Amino acid sequence: MEIKFQKEYLADIYQGTIKKYKEYKSNKPLVVQYIKVIDKLKSITKKEQLYQIKSLRYEKLTGDLKGYSAVAVNMQYRIIFTEVASSSDELTIDIFEIEELSKHYEN
């Protein structure tokens, strides 16, 4: 599984370089959980596995975010991403393009 980060801060947080991101620097449990979720996403080979890992709380988004999917990092944060399907098998996901780490339901 390949994961592409659309925003630099998402890759930086995953790699542990959070010094310039005040919100995440002071929230170590969030960073640890974010890394765990990304690692779970990397291990997935088929779309069905997103549903099987209940802790991810995978969902297809609707409304303004139609076309995106989300998984939970914790009760407050979620990772919003797009799924890019493999050309050989529609059920296999080659690339997750991580769009953002957002506070759930925040305006």
Length of the chain in terms of residues written: 107
Task: Report the distance separating Cα 40 and Cα 104, nearest Å.
Answer: 20
Specify the pTM: 0.82
The 10 Å Cβ neighbour count of residue 53 is 15
Tokens at residue 87, please? Answer: 């050309």
pLDDT in 10s for each residue of the chain, 107 residues: 778 888 888 888 899 888 788 888 888 899 999 999 999 998 887 888 889 999 999 999 999 889 888 999 998 899 988 887 666 554 445 457 778 788 765 54
21 phi, psi to nearest 5 deg: -115, 90
Query: From CA 81, how far away is CA 78, in angstroms rounded?
Result: 10
Sequence-ordered list of residues with C-beta below 8 angstroms from that of 102, at least 6 positions apart, any chain? 77, 78, 80
